[in-house]
């Protein structure tokens, strides 16, 4: 959507519905102008904003023009209509989405999706809606041609899948970009005791994005395997995602919740992680957090970046054996509210402050004794709750004054600590 809104005003004004749709008659002979969501007689970027607001529940489309927003004429207004309207601006045809239905021990799909037993394979870019529940092992595979440079847009709508083999529920074998939107309640589960990347509940070899238009929840539960693994960039832009690895309690250290070789980014939504291994990591590149609400409980590193970790916004509570670590770069703080706690000492000498922050907005403390997660932690008047037991604290937020951090309360009682140096 950022790319779309950055187009010139002249280009958008020139793009009227006549270029893509013909008017049709609905109800009492009212003229329907497909895409004119705000009812001003033309289709522009403002209609995308209005449609997004309606889907997310912040503003309702007037009843008299709802037919304009129903791009595929199915008497529903949802994220599929948003994608179809967006395609108009991008020059793509407003083709209807293809449906994949999970029906217990079988899968049914529209023509264009290859179904072999309980495997459904998407072979070309486009929009796909997946719904239903499986009682048998199943897999959704994305495998488009190398020459297909468009996105595969997947909407999960009340989907339930459980695999006990080393087969991912969703496997992106090849695609330029795969974008996942989810509505309703979706639960993907893997129970295998193998922690290799290829057994992750969601495994992508190419870029993977969870979109800002997600209005439901996505729960990912695993045995020993990873929750989400991406060989390129993975981005979280919206919706509520809950990931629990090592659900059986075997304490498998390799059961990371989110692992990427490219950048791992959080821009919006709610991300709730409970991992036996690392929580949120990039093993080759950077972690970037600029929005959203993130809570991590980790048996190893809560947040780990190879080349950098950059935090410029959002609310983050990151609790692990180690809080936030960077293998070969800096931890840059430029905004947001952060509490990182750990049972092991973490070296924060690589912290760099962004232009809106300074060392006075950050504290690192070593407590004299270990404390439990149930105890309310108050730093300079702001309350936090850690996700697991801890002895070391790293905290930052815009209103924090380091000098006032001498007032550290745990369950209302003054705690003893040593101040740890921050920065180079």
* Residue 181 clears pLDDT 60, i.e. is over it: yes
Same domain, 63 and 126: no
More confident residue, 312 or 196: 312
* pLDDT tens per residue across span 257-292: 999 999 999 999 999 999 999 999 999 999 999 999
Residue 417 pLDDT: 86
The CATH number of residue 8's host domain is 1.10.1330.10
* Residue 139 clears pLDDT 90, i.e. is over it: yes
Same domain, 357 and 415: yes
Same domain, 139 and 225: yes
Same domain, 244 and 342: yes
Its domain, for residue 265, covers: 118-419
Q: Is residue 243 part of a domain?
A: yes
Same domain, 83 and 124: no
Residue 153 pLDDT: 94
Q: How confident is the model at residue 166 (pLDDT cuts 50, 70, 90)?
A: confident
Q: Is residue 95 part of a domain?
A: no
Q: Is residue 108 part of a domain?
A: no
Same domain, 29 and 126: no
Same domain, 196 and 246: yes
More confident residue, 95 or 378: 378
Indicate the number of domains in the chain. 2
* Residue 356 clears pLDDT 60, i.e. is over it: yes
Same domain, 44 and 163: no
Q: Is residue 146 part of a domain?
A: yes
Q: Is residue 17 part of a domain?
A: yes
Same domain, 85 and 211: no
Q: Is residue 100 part of a domain?
A: no
Residue 4 pLDDT: 33
Same domain, 304 and 225: yes
* pLDDT tens per residue across span 295-343: 999 999 999 999 999 999 999 999 999 999 999 989 999 889 999 999 9
Q: Is residue 72 part of a domain?
A: yes
More confident residue, 272 or 374: 272
Same domain, 134 and 77: no
Q: How confident is the model at residue 17 (pLDDT cuts 50, 70, 90)?
A: very low
SS (H, E, C) the chain: CHHHHCCCHHHHHHCCHHHCCCCEEECCCEEECCCCCCCCCCCCHHHHHHHHHHHHCCCCCCHHHHHHHCCCCCCCCCHHHHHHHHHHHCCCCCCCCEEEEEEECEEEECCCEEEECCEEEECCCEEEEEEEEECCCCEEEEECCCCCCCEEEEEEEEEEEEECCCCCCEEEEECCEEEEEEECEEEEEECCCCCCHHHCCEEECCEEEECCCCCCEEEEEECCCCCEEECCCEEECCCEEEEECCCCCCCCCCCCCEEECCCEEECCCEEEEEECCCCEEECCCEEEEEEEEEEEEECCEEEEECCEEEEEEEEEEEEECEEEEECCCEEEEEEEEEEEEECCCCCCCCEEECCCCCHHHEEEEEEEEEECCCCCEEECCEEECCCCCEEEEEEECCCCCHHHHHCEEECCEECCEEECCCCC
Q: What CA–CA distance (Å, rounded) separates 191 from 197?
A: 14
Q: 379 and 363 in contact (C-beta within 8 Å)?
A: yes
**Per-chain mean pLDDT for the chain:** 85
Q: Is residue 104 part of a domain?
A: no
Residue 88 pLDDT: 67
Same domain, 262 and 301: yes
**Could you tell me the pTM of the whole model?**
0.78
């Amino acid at each position: 959507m950022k790319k779309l809104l950055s187009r010139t005003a002249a280009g958008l004004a020139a793009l009227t519905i006549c270029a893509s749709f013909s008017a049709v008659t609905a109800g009492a002979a009212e003229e329907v102008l497909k895409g004119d969501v705000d009812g001003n007689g033309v289709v522009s970027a403002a209609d995308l904003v209005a449609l997004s607001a309606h889907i997310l529940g912040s503003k309702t489309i007037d009843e008299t023009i709802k037919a304009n927003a129903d791009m595929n004429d199915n008497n529903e207004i949802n994220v599929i209509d948003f994608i179809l309207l967006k395609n108009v601006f991008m020059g793509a045809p407003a083709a209807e989405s293809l449906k994949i239905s999970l029906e217990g021990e079988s899968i049914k799909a529209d023509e264009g999706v290859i179904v072999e037993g309980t495997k459904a394979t998407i072979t070309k870019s486009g929009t796909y809606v997946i719904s239903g529940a499986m009682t048998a092992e199943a897999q959704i595979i994305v495998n488009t041609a190398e020459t297909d440079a468009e996105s595969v847009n997947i909407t999960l709508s009340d989907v339930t899948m459980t695999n006990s083999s080393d087969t991912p529920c969703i496997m992106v074998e090849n695609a330029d970009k795969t974008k996942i939107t989810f509505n309703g309640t979706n639960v993907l589960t893997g129970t295998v005791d193998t922690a290799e990347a290829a057994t992750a509940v969601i495994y992508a070899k190419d870029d993977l994005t969870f979109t800002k238009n997600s209005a439901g929840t996505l729960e990912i539960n695993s045995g020993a395997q990873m929750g989400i693994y991406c060989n390129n960039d993975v981005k979280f832009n919206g919706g509520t995602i809950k990931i629990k690895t090592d659900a059986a309690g075997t304490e498998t250290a390799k059961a990371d919740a989110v692992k990427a070789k490219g950048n791992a980014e959080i821009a919006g939504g709610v991300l709730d992680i409970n991992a036996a291994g690392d929580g949120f990591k990039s093993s080759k590149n950077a972690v970037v957090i600029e929005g959203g609400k993130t809570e991590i409980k980790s048996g190893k590193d809560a947040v780990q970046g190879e080349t950098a970790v950059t935090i410029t916004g959002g609310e983050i509570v990151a609790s692990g054996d180690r809080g936030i670590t960077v293998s070969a770069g800096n931890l840059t703080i430029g905004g947001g509210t952060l509490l990182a706690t750990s049972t092991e000492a973490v070296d924060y000498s690589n912290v760099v402050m962004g232009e809106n922050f300074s060392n006075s907005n950050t504290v690192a403390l070593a407590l004299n004794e270990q404390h439990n997660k149930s105890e309310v932690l108050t730093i300079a008047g702001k309350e936090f709750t850690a996700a697991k037991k801890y002895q070391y604290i790293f905290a930052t937020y815009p209103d924090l004054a380091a000098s006032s951090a001498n007032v550290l309360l745990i369950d209302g009682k003054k705690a003893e600590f040593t101040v740890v140096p921050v920065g180079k």
